[in-house]
Amino acid sequence: MTKQKRIPITSKATGEVRLSEPVPGRKSWRQDSAKPDGASNAEPTSTSTLAELTGEQSSAREQGADENASGPAKAKRGEKTGTKQDKPESLADYIEYAYGRKGQKLADLKEKAGFIRNLATNFRLGEREPELLGVAEKDVTLAVPRQLVFVSREFQGYPSLRNELLGFVKKAILQHPLFREQPALALFINQGDFSPSALEAMRLIHELGTTKESQELELSRADLEVLHRNASYLVAVWLREMRGRSLHDVAEMLFQGVWKKAAASIEDDTDKLRAITDVSELAPVAIACAVFQQQAEEQTKRAHQSAAETHQLRQERDGLLAEKESLSAELSALKALREKERSETQERLAKLESSQDVKVTHLRDDNQQVRHRLVKRLVSDVEQLEIGLSALRNPNPRVEVMIQRAERVVDALRAEIAKLREE
C-alpha cells in the first residue's frame, strides 16, 4: 500500500488554511493514468481541489470543457461535476454542499435574494440533521464552521433560517473532540456563566497536542497546526457574531492569541524582513494593519485629548493654588487682627475690672460711713425723744421740754437729709 499525505493549502482569496485530499504516491499516479477516465471512483486529488479555489468562473470553464468532451468517460465526469454544482434546494442541501467544498470559500449570497428566500422556505433540517452532523464529524480540522457563520450573516432578514444554521454550527462545533472534551471551550461556545475569555479559549486550543483529544483525533503535526489555526479563527468569529464585540477587539484578540506567538518564533531581522516581504495575500494584512492603525490613531487622539485635559486641569490647579495662597495670607492677616483685638479687649477688661473694684470699694466704704452716721444720728434722736416723753409723763407735764427736744430731732434729721442729698 502506498503512503498518502495531505498538504496544507492557503486560499489566495480568504487566507484560510485547509488540507488537501490525500495525495497518492508516484506509483498510484501511474496506475490511475492507466485506467479509463470514467473507471476511477477515487476522490478528487489536490489538483482538482486547487482548481476549485479559483471560484465559480473556473468551475464554469471546467464544466464547459466536460460538456464538449466526447466518449462515455467524459460524459461520466461531466455528470459528476454537474452534481457538485447542482443548486441546493434547502438549507440541508446547502450545508452538505458547504462540507463538500472542504473549507473552501463559499460563494457570496448578498446578491442572491431569490436563492436565500428558497432556503428560507426549506430551512428545517429535520431528519437530515444526524446525517449532516455525521458529515461534519469528518471535518477534523474545523475548516467549514467558520464559513457557515459568515453565510449566516447574510441571512439577517430571515431569523428562523439564520438560527437554524447557527444552531447546527454550534452542534457541529460541540461534537468535535476538541470542544467536547474541554468543558471550558464548550462553555465559551454556549456563552454560559463564568465562560472563559477568548484569549483563554485560544490558550486551551493551542494546548491540544499532548491531550487525549489529539490522541483520539490521531492528527499529524501539520493537521494539528491547521486545527489550531482554524479553531482560533472560529473563536474570533464566534466572539464577533455571538457577543457583538467590535472588529478592533477581535483584531487585538487575534494578535495576542495567534499572530504574536507566530511572530515570536522569528528573531533574526533578515527572517523578519523576508516574512513581511513574502506576503502574497495583501487584503488580510491590510485589514489587520488598518484596524491597528485606526486603534493607534484613536489612542493618539485620546492621548492628545488627555494631554489637553491635563493641561487645563493643571492650569485650574495652579489658579486654585494661587487662590489658596491668597486666602491663606488673608486668613493669616485676619488671625493676627483677631489676636490683636483679643489682646486689646483683655486689657480693657482688666482695666475695667480694676476700676470697678476700686469703685466698689469706695462705694462700700461710703455706704459703711453713711450707715454708721445714720445709726449714730438715730440713736441721738431717739435719746432726745425719750427725754421729751419723760417730761410729758410727769404729773406736771413739761411740754416745752418735749417741744425743744422734738425741734432738735427735726433739725438734725433735716441736716442729715441735706447731707445725703449732697453726697
259-to-98, 251, 305 alpha-carbon distances in Å? 27, 10, 31
25-34, 115-124, 139-148, 204-213: range with highest mean pLDDT: 139-148
- Give me the sign of the Cα torsion angle 408, 409, 412, 413: negative
Q: Three-state SS across the chain?
A: CCCCECCEEECCCCCCEEECCCECCHHHHHHHHHCCCCCCCCCCCHHHHHHHCCCHHHHHHHHHHHHHCCCHHHHHHHHHHHHHCCCCCCHHHHHHHHHHCCCCCCCCCCCCHHHHHHHHHCCCCCCHHHHHHHHHHCCCCCCCHHHHHHHHHHHCCCHHHHHHHHHHHHHHHHCCHHHHCCHHHHHHHHCCCCCCCHHHHHHHHHCCCCCHHHHHHCCCHHHHHHHHHHHHHHHHHHHHHHHCCCHHHHHHHHHHHHHHHHHHCCCCHHHHHHHHHCCCCHHHHHHHHHHHHHHHHHHHHHHHHHHHHHHHHHHHHHHHHHHHHHHHHHHHHHHHHHHHHHHHHHHHHHHHHHHHHHHHHHHHHHHHHHHHHHHHHHHHHHHHHHHHHHHHHCCCCCHHHHHHHHHHHHHHHHHHHHHHHHC
Say whether pLDDT at 313 is over 90. yes
Residue of 294 and 66 predicted with greater confidence: 294
Query: What does the alpha-carbon distance between residue 334 and residue 326 come to, in Å, rounded to a whole number?
Result: 12
- The model's pLDDT over 1-47, given as tens digits with 9 standing for 90+, comes to 444 556 666 665 555 666 666 554 443 323 333 333 333 333 333 33
Q: Look at residue 215 in the predicted model and tell me its pLDDT.
A: 58
Q: Look at residue 56 in the predicted model and tell me its pLDDT.
A: 38
Position 320 in a domain: yes
Position 99 in a domain: no
Position 192 in a domain: no
> pLDDT-derived band of residue 69, with 50, 70 and 90 as boundaries?
very low
Position 401 in a domain: yes
Average pLDDT over residues 325-339: 93
- The model's pLDDT over 225-269, given as tens digits with 9 standing for 90+, comes to 888 888 888 888 888 887 778 788 888 888 887 787 777 778 788
Residue of 51 and 362 predicted with greater confidence: 362
Position 331 in a domain: yes
Position 90 in a domain: no
Cell numbers standing for residue 132: 449532516
- The model's pLDDT over 371-404, given as tens digits with 9 standing for 90+, comes to 888 888 788 888 888 888 888 788 888 888 888 8
Q: Which positions ≥6 away from 405 have C-beta within 8 Å?
A: 384, 385, 387, 388, 391
Position 304 in a domain: yes
Query: What does the alpha-carbon distance between residue 136 and residue 125 come to, in Å, rounded to a whole number?
Result: 14
80-89, 174-183, 304-313: range with highest mean pLDDT: 304-313
Contact of 398 with 391, CB cutoff 8 Å? yes
Number of domains in the chain: 1
Average pLDDT over residues 82-93: 67
Rg, C-alpha atoms of the chain: 57
Position 241 in a domain: no
- Packing angle of the helix pair 221-243, 198-206 (nearest 10 deg): 170
| Residue range(s) defining the domain that contains residue 356 | 297-422
**Which residue in 237, 238, 211 sits closest to 224, CA to CA?**
211
Residue of 133 and 18 predicted with greater confidence: 133
